[in-house]
Structure 1
């Protein structure tokens, strides 16, 4: 799969842009705050119907404007496709595929697979389990629509149960109605998460070793209350019922799952240097790419936002050798250093295009 052309109107700081892309590597160069990452976010939005930064949709509309439009022309499984995303300050967002509007935006997730590597990925190591659950859900949802449906049902039922707890409701029948939904959805979610994390671990370790140029071993472990032998969502809820009534929220369940991240058997968040942590998260994203490629039969679009910072030259070159190989498809890169990127691209070879970016204006440069 590849993105042939992208047109933007009033998206973040980009007033108007129309770019035709290389099928392999596309580079955006410029100082910080000029709009490079906003272009990547627009591409991300067309795949996920939301911003990578998770800001409200209205914040994606250029200041003093009432609407924003992103139009992408793709080749997907050999067929030309067009996506048109519309944002308005007064109406809900819309997404059309081939001129037909989606009834449910969730049904679009996974149709145009994409992986983004960004500076914020350090939060996967440093921050709470919520960041790692979000990453896990994004990975799996792109390849398993049943998982996404179960996740949506579980989340809605969880919100209903928490509302009952906050309001001090004691009717057992009301709790039973939402807990049966949580139990059924949690069972599927747990089994899929466990299998996917196990499958990712081997691929992830291989990429880490390739980028780091060392024999250091990295591991992922799925941590869940449902891992306990004989545990179900219902038994967890029953055990925590009195506690939940006191704290007025649901304290157990798959919404509390986490992923252990270790380097040589030690927690990465405690022992990892900046370079090791960056290598760790990039390897994680490349493993995600491999997983989606196998699951969907398509090579996802790969977005690399400011990935060279805090990495030594040898690791940067190994990353570029990996992602410009035949195992990967179309790539979009942002950087602040033209000379740096030119040197890398000339060493790795292949087709690429470049744009300089200033105040939301994209100007092609000779590659």
Structure 2
């Protein structure tokens, strides 16, 4: 699978841009704020029906305009696939595949999968557990529809359970109603738990191999799945915490409290890791995700690398490019502020690539 063409209209700082891509490596180069990353985000939009960075669609529309559209032509399974996403202020977003409108956007997730590597990935290390749960959900949902549907149902029930807790007096919350929610939530929670656990068990050894390959050091790294369901089943947790839930007026236990623990040499990466080590950790995590998804899907997802060369020393960049040189990955999209650096890197490994010079939200030239 690869993206042949991309057309954007009034998307962020691009009034109108049309690009024909190389099936291997495509590099967007230009200064900060030129619109390089916005093109990556447009590709992400075609895959997930939303921006990687800004979830509110109206904030992605070009200033002083009231609509935007993104169109992509893919080659998949020897067939041409057309994906169209459009949004107009005050009107519901429309996503079409081969000119047929989706009733539910969730039906599109996983059809044109990708892995996005971005400087904002640092939030995985630095922010709260909700960011890491969203990461797991995003990955697994791209190849497992049962997981996505189960997660949607679980989250809806949790919202309803929390609404009941908030609407009831802390001393008189309806125990029978809560137990009804708990019984519906329990099988969903265990499906989510088991699938997340399987995902991490398979991802961890791949992640370790990538970290060693990129860092070329003896640093010890680990990634662990932390869940309350590892110790007790969901119903027991609910019973034991029912009094607490009535007092705090929200559901305090369940898979919506899961987390990932990232460590370097036995300590949290966010505390002891240098910028280069943290970036290597996250890059290894995302490349491991790529391998995992390829195995699960049976084909290669797209790989989007935003500003990946920044904060990596020459040694780590060289080892990363050696991985690319092995043609292990499929279609790759890269952004860089230094055109000559990109050309030097890709020429060194004799890569088949296309260079797009971006300036003020427009394609200045191609190489």
Name the TM tier (shorter chain): over 0.9
How many angstroms apart in 2 are the aligned matches of 1:305 and 1:318? 18
Instruction: Tell me, yes or no, if the aligned pair for 1:77 and 1:298 is still in contact at 8 Å.
Output: no
**Structure 1 residue ranges without an equivalent (≥5):** none
Structure 2 counterpart SS, 1:250: coil
Instruction: Tell me, yes or no, if the aligned pair for 1:27 and 1:335 is still in contact at 8 Å.
Output: yes
How many angstroms apart in 2 are the aligned matches of 1:178 and 1:273? 45
RMSD: 1.1
Alignment length, in residue pairs?
A: 364
How many angstroms apart in 2 are the aligned matches of 1:46 and 1:266? 38
Per the alignment, residue 203 of structure 2 pairs with: 200
How many angstroms apart in 2 are the aligned matches of 1:75 and 1:173? 53
How many angstroms apart in 2 are the aligned matches of 1:177 and 1:7? 49
Per the alignment, residue 171 of structure 1 pairs with: 174
Q: Does residue 212 in structure 1 map to residue 215 in structure 2?
A: yes
Structure 1 counterpart SS, 2:91: coil
Instruction: Tell me, yes or no, if the aligned pair for 1:355 and 1:365 is still in contact at 8 Å.
Output: yes
Per the alignment, residue 238 of structure 2 pairs with: 237
**TM-score, normalised with respect to structure 1:** 0.97
Q: Which residues of 2 match residues 274-313 of structure 1 at below 5 A?
A: 274-313=275-314
How many angstroms apart in 2 are the aligned matches of 1:93 and 1:40? 20
| Cα 1:125–1:74 shift into 2, 3 Å | same
How many angstroms apart in 2 are the aligned matches of 1:33 and 1:4? 25
Structure 2 counterpart SS, 1:92: strand
Structure 2 counterpart SS, 1:52: coil
- Cα displacement string for residues 276-306 of structure 1 (whole angstroms, at most 9, x for unaligned residues): 0000000000000000000001211100001
How many angstroms apart in 1 are the aligned matches of 2:156 and 2:186? 13
How many angstroms apart in 2 are the aligned matches of 1:181 and 1:355? 52
Instruction: Tell me, yes or no, if the aligned pair for 2:7 and 2:18 is still in contact at 8 Å.
Output: yes
Per the alignment, residue 256 of structure 2 pairs with: 255
Per the alignment, residue 188 of structure 1 pairs with: 191
- Cα displacement string for residues 191-228 of structure 1 (whole angstroms, at most 9, x for unaligned residues): 01111101000000000000001132321111000000
Instruction: Tell me, yes or no, if the aligned pair for 2:305 and 2:332 is still in contact at 8 Å.
Output: yes
User: How many Å apart are 1:361 and its aligned residue?
Assistant: 0.5
Q: Does residue 222 in structure 1 map to residue 225 in structure 2?
A: yes
How many angstroms apart in 2 are the aligned matches of 1:288 and 1:43? 18
Instruction: Tell me, yes or no, if the aligned pair for 2:54 and 2:60 is still in contact at 8 Å.
Output: no
Larger displacement relative to structure 2 (60-69 or 281-290): 60-69
Instruction: Tell me, yes or no, if the aligned pair for 2:193 and 2:255 is still in contact at 8 Å.
Output: yes
Instruction: Tell me, yes or no, if the aligned pair for 1:24 and 1:324 is still in contact at 8 Å.
Output: no
Per the alignment, residue 76 of structure 2 pairs with: 76
How many angstroms apart in 2 are the aligned matches of 1:52 and 1:349? 31
User: How many Å apart are 1:324 and its aligned residue?
Assistant: 4.0
- Cα displacement string for residues 222-276 of structure 1 (whole angstroms, at most 9, x for unaligned residues): 1000000xx2212111111111111111111101100111122222122111110
User: How many Å apart are 1:363 and its aligned residue?
Assistant: 2.4
Structure 2 counterpart SS, 1:333: strand
4+ runs deviating over 3 angstroms: none
